[in-house]
Amino acid sequence: MIILVVNAGSSSLKYQLIDMNDESVIAKGNCDRIGIDGHISHKTGDGRKFEADCDFPTHTEAFQ
């Protein structure tokens, strides 16, 4: 079973995708500064990283 965990704060959105079969992290990351100059950080389970400045006017855009 794959589980998506989401923690939405007032100006951030954190997420983690977990494979419960072996309790491994498939991916995780966060979107910061939602509503202002946004930033996303994403990391895959095999260690690849992605970071970028993005425009997230709302939590909906950050989640997409």
In tens, the pLDDT along 13-43 reads 999 999 999 999 999 999 999 999 999 999 9
pLDDT at 64: 87
Statement: residue 10 has pLDDT above 90:
yes
Q: Could you write out the DSSP letters of every residue in 1-64?
A: -EEEEEEE-SS-EEEEEEETTTTEEEEEEEEESTTSEEEEEEEETTS-EEEEEEE-SSHHHHH-
Q: Are 57 and 11 in contact (CB under 8 A)?
A: no
